[in-house]
Structure 1
Amino acid sequence: MNDEYDARLADLEARVHALEAARPAESPTADVGESLGQIGYQGTVDLGGEIQWTIRYDAGATLDLSPTAVSNVLAALGHPTRLEIVRTLLRGPSGAAELQTAVGLSSPGQLYHHLRALGGARIVEQESRNHYRIAAAKVVPLLVITLAAADVGEHPL
């Protein structure tokens, strides 16, 4: 197995373990002892080794998440080219030239414009000069966001 993928896999496993070990936060919108329920996601992904995960949060607490943080991520993903960049990077890190070709952009300036938006939303990281990646801990949530958006838009798999 490739050292880069081993590191990504280990990072993802550690973060998932930490999330699973954490108790869901109490919702400030619920009365003491009253729960609005749980929201979560689960699945299996193979990133050079099979990972199974289950992540759950208090449903009421999700209603109190920062609207700015959530809307920044959704806005960054809301552009078709940016979504295609993310899909490409979910398959593995890539250089700028490869990304530009993969998403069909005619100039590096267009690519960097989109990468700035994705970086500002903390979706894409610059791993080295002109080389980009998705942090291992963000792979699963980004896959879930994509699927959830398809469900909301009534375009399931």
Structure 2
Amino acid sequence: MSELADRLAALEARVAALESAGATAESDPPPSTGGAVGYSGDVHLAGDVSWSISYSPDGVLGLPPERSVEVLAALGHPVRFAIVRALLRGPMSATALQDTVDASSAGRLYHHLKALTGARIVDQHARGDYRLAPSTVVPALVLMLASADIAGEVR
């Protein structure tokens, strides 16, 4: 019986070793995916803007989501999307924006502008004048293009 007890003990030791190795592997971070993702642009709308950024996929997945979600939520309303499209052509007054995007009232327009300025998409350039910061132009266009691509609008 001693031989059987020895074999059972050895088997239990091997199972324990395998289980602990599996637990360590599960707690280790996933291997790096490698590669790069990015975007760039050289835009001549209301002014000349060049922008380029490249990130590793792991770096993108490691970015904190809170501000990104705020930006996406701000752009997720049709009136706000229209405001950004209008401002890509150049700075506009609140009055011109209200006429351009068919905002129902000045109060509603300012509500949407507050969301866009809070998300750092739109800047209030001067009293009543709004614009996109130059560093926002290419990323805003890329977001518009990427969303249209996901929607199947671009081919």
TM surpasses 0.5:
yes
Matched ranges for 1:31-110 at <5 A: 31=31, 34-47=32-45, 52-110=50-108
- Conserved 8 A contact 2:49-2:138: no
Offset of 1:152 from its aligned partner? 1.0
Structure 1: segments with no counterpart, 5+ residues: 1-28
Whole-angstrom CA distance in 1 between matches of 2:150 and 2:140: 15
Aligned residues: 127
**Which aligned runs of 4 or more in structure 1 are off by greater than 6 angstroms?**
none
Whole-angstrom CA distance in 2 between matches of 1:126 and 1:49: 17
Amino acid at match of 1:72: E
Whole-angstrom CA distance in 1 between matches of 2:47 and 2:97: 25
Q: Give the equivalent residue in structure 1 for 2:138.
A: 140
Matched ranges for 1:19-30 at <5 A: none
1:89-109 deviations in whole A, cap 9, x for unaligned? 011000000000000012100
Q: Give the equivalent residue in structure 2 for 1:127.
A: 125
Offset of 1:85 from its aligned partner? 0.1
- Conserved 8 A contact 1:88-1:102: yes
More helix by share: 2
Whole-angstrom CA distance in 1 between matches of 2:67 and 2:55: 17
- Conserved 8 A contact 1:37-1:60: no
Offset of 1:59 from its aligned partner? 1.2
Offset of 1:43 from its aligned partner? 3.2
Bigger radius of gyration, 1 or 2?
A: 2
Q: Give the equivalent residue in structure 2 for 1:115.
A: 113
Whole-angstrom CA distance in 2 between matches of 1:86 and 1:65: 24
Deviation larger for 42-51 or 110-119: 42-51
In structure 2, the residue corresponding to 1:127 is in which secondary structure? Answer: strand
In structure 2, the residue corresponding to 1:45 is in which secondary structure? Answer: strand
RMSD: 1.9
Q: Give the equivalent residue in structure 2 for 1:155.
A: 153
1:17-50 deviations in whole A, cap 9, x for unaligned? xxxxxxxxxxxx665xx45210011233224666
